[in-house]
């Protein structure tokens, strides 16, 4: 797909309208409505905080651990929400695909944009919570923006790739749900990475080169505390670039695979 076609006015309007519809439909019929965009990550954070901080005593050596944990929870929720919505996007819009001719990638973009809206709302909450908890605001907070872009690019690449497969093999969504549950414990959301480095530097290297870990640790470093171990600091700049290269590769592969498979969506959906 050419860049002019991606950015033309018709596609932008269609993307905007589909995004609005997806966001409204998602919370339609809910008693709390749009408040769930805030409540879901906050409730998950509350449970994790009570269990791992108060009962298991995690994070006692980390400054502003509540903000540290909330940040990881918010960005992890964004990644899982974005991929879940993206993977099922084509499947859920089968009626539209069969009736109207338009670039199918717009459906995935509109579905994942709902997760992006929720993330922006929750990042604002993280900033407020950080201020209340005593974190010092600085220009480094602006570095959250490229981190968000990187994580969205990763989630979008996965969504395009697996979403294209899911049109024909509907088990992909369920398999991905199981994989993300396992991946949750392979990313330093609950525990500090120092717990891993003390046991195995190889395991720490593997965890930190994971783009999800890299983004979450970078955000924590820029918002919460500069004591946070990052991929750039622990493994060197080269390993940080490896994480970004992985994201770019997944996005390009996902886009090309989706483009090839999209020609058959109307028949398979």
Give tens-digit pLDDT for 20-48: 777 766 666 555 556 666 677 777 778 87
Domain of 197?
A: 3-268
* Alpha carbon distance, N-terminus to C-terminus of the chain: 21
Q: Which two tokens stand for residue 88?
A: 């099922």
- Measured CA to CA, the distance from residue 248 to residue 182 in angstroms comes to 23
Residue 164 and residue 262 in contact, taking contact as beta carbons nearer than 8 Å: yes
Tell me the pLDDT band of 245, cut-offs 50, 70 and 90. Answer: very high
pTM: 0.87
Tokens 């919370």 belong to which residue? 27
The model's pLDDT over 51-83, given as tens digits with 9 standing for 90+, comes to 766 776 666 677 888 888 889 999 999 999 999
- Count, residues in the chain: 269
Number of domains within the chain: 1
């Amino acid at each position: 797909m050419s860049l002019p076609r991606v950015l033309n006015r018709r596609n932008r309007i269609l993307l905007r309208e589909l995004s609005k519809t997806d966001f409204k439909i998602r919370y339609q019929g809910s008693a709390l409505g749009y408040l769930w965009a805030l409540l879901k990550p906050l409730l998950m954070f509350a449970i994790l905080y009570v269990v791992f901080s108060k009962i298991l005593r995690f994070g006692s050596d980390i400054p502003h651990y509540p903000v540290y944990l909330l940040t990881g929870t918010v960005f992890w929720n964004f990644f899982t929400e974005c991929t879940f919505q993206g993977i099922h996007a084509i499947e859920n819009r089968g009626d539209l695909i069969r009736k109207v001719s338009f670039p199918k990638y717009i459906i995935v973009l509109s579905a994942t944009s709902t997760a992006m809206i929720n993330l922006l709302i929750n990042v604002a909450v993280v900033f407020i919570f950080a201020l209340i908890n005593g974190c010092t605001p600085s220009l480094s907070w602006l570095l959250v923006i490229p981190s968000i872009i990187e994580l969205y690019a990763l989630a979008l690449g996965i969504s395009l790739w697996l979403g294209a497969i899911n049109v024909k093999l509907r088990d992909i969504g369920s398999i991905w749900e199981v994989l993300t549950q396992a991946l949750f414990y392979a990313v330093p959301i609950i525990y500090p990475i120092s717990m891993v480095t003390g046991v195995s530097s190889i395991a720490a290297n593997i965890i930190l080169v994971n783009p999800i870990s890299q983004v979450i640790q970078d955000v924590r470093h820029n918002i919460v505390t500069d004591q946070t171990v990052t991929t750039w600091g622990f493994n060197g700049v080269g390993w940080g670039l490896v994480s970004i290269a992985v994201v770019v590769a997944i996005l390009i592969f996902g886009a090309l695979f989706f483009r090839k498979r999209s020609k058959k969506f109307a028949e398979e959906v």
